[in-house]
Amino acid sequence: MCFASLFVGCTSSVVDSNFEIPERKWTYRNHIKTSFVIKDASKAYNLCFKLRHTADYHYANIFVLVHFKDEKNKITRRYQYRLAKNDGEWLGSGSGNVFAYKLPLLTNYHFTHAGNYEIEIEQNMRDNPLVEVSDAGVLVEEVQ
């Protein structure tokens, strides 16, 4: 296991979620929700939005609304991510017709306290549904 961690990097996952988008059509109402527990608020964490889409995705970018929640607070931020170069070449890692991304939400982030948290992500593009998105998720990892 230690040998395998050399290839993964110097992080330890708190949560690594992945949700399939039904029929590759991400609607406004289909929010991606991930709950997790932070046991040690003194440590730094990286929070990432994971996305996979097909080569038939229509845009070079994506906008999402991200709701960060704990027992007391809810903070919403809007993110824009570039998914393709100007010439149309996808920036994600490809496997056949599917391209995957690990996009930063918060880096070296310190939670205010130990406890229960939730991240909820909704697509914020003009299209409803947003087609050719195969799945999305959240990765929260401890920085070593």
Residue 3 has pLDDT above 90, yes or no: no
Compute the distance between CA of residue 2 and CA of residue 10 in angstroms, rounded to an integer: 11
| In the predicted structure, residue 116 carries a pLDDT above the cut 80 | yes
pLDDT tens figures, 20-79: 999 999 999 999 999 999 999 999 999 999 999 999 999 999 999 999 999 999 999 999
Average of per-residue pLDDT values in the chain: 93
Domains of the chain: which residue ranges?
A: 13-143
C-alpha 52 chain-centroid distance: 10
Could you tell me which residue, 3 or 66, shows the higher pLDDT? 66
Q: Is the pLDDT confidence value at 11 over 80?
A: no
CATH 3.30.70 is held by the domain 13-143: no
Over residues 120-135, mean pLDDT: 98
pLDDT for the residue 13: 87
DSSP labels for 21-49? PGGGEE-TT--EEEEEEES-TTS-EEEEE
